[in-house]
């Protein structure tokens, strides 16, 4: 499949000789090859970079949208064939862990995607290269770009190479757990209530804020958990509460 050289691909960031070497280094490390390096470069173009560019440069969001769908299909098909006796709910839960932001960010770090992302100065200053959302989105964009460049078969091969180990972690219960979901499911099943999260405090300068969150469960507060954003801090607080009810986890 060859993406027509117009539209967003035409607006991909220009590739200098130095940038070409960087993209080739990524291809070598990732074990894949692009016919069109402009597509790969576009996959690394974060919105902040495009917004700050003096020329008309596109960002990677549409490739991310496409890559998310391709990834979901490949993982769903693999699980369907691997676990023919499992119910739909169980397959959906496994898939949700495998394609989670945490899982995607971990794979992106392994592929050193943080070294290749094009981001704006403001995002760079605030630690954008290490943000899970940016890393996860870039990996999905790479998958979308590979699908357009070389077709479904190549994209599937790439996905299975890096995501089958994540699937195995989930099946062996060695994956990173979504404690907010686990806590909510436990409370709904056994107590018919929902956890309530509240911000305790924020510390640090604007570009490096630390959030402290507590969770109230059955009139008892757990935490605080801390993180670089509210979502991360909530996860830490939820983990403390969940482990209180499940001390063996």
User: Which residues are marked as active site?
Assistant: 68, 140
CA dist., res. 54 & res. 177, Å (int)? 42
Half-sphere exposure of residue 165: CA atoms within 13 angstroms, side-chain side:
8
Number of Cβ atoms within 10 Å of the Cβ of 157: 14
Mutual angle of helices 101-110 and 152-171, in 10-degree steps: 110
Is residue 85 a known part of a binding site? no
Is residue 61 a known part of a binding site? no
Could you give the maximum distance between any two Cα atoms of the chain, in Å?
62
Is residue 220 a known part of a binding site? no
The distance of Cα 118 from the centroid of its chain, to the nearest Å, equals 17
* Known binding-site positions: 64, 137, 140
Enumerate the known binding-site residues for Mg(2+): 64, 137, 140
């Amino acid at each position: 499949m060859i993406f027509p050289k117009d539209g967003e691909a035409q607006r991909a960031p220009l590739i200098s000789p130095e940038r070409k070497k960087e993209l080739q280094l990524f291809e070598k490390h990732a074990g894949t090859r692009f016919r069109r390096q402009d597509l790969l470069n576009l996959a690394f173009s974060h919105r902040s970079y495009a917004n700050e560019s003096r020329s008309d440069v596109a960002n990677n969001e549409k490739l991310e949208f496409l890559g998310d769908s391709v990834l979901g299909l490949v993982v769903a098909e693999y699980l369907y064939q691997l676990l023919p006796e499992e119910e739909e709910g169980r397959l959906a839960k496994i898939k949700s862990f495998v394609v989670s932001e945490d899982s995607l960010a971990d794979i992106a770090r392994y592929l050193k995607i943080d070294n290749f992302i094009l981001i704006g100065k403001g995002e760079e200053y605030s630690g954008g290269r290490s943000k899970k959302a940016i890393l996860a989105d870039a990996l999905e964009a790479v998958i979308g770009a590979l699908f357009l460049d070389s077709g479904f078969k190549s994209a599937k091969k790439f996905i299975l190479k890096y995501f089958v180990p994540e699937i195995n972690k989930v099946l062996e219960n060695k994956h990173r757990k979504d404690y907010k979901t686990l806590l909510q499911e436990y409370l709904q099943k056994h107590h018919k209530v929902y956890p309530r999260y509240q911000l305790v405090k924020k510390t640090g300068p604007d570009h490096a804020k630390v959030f402290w969150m507590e969770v109230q469960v059955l009139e008892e507060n757990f935490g605080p958990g801390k993180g670089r954003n509210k979502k991360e801090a909530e996860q830490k607080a939820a983990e403390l509460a969940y482990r209180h009810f499940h001390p063996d986890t």
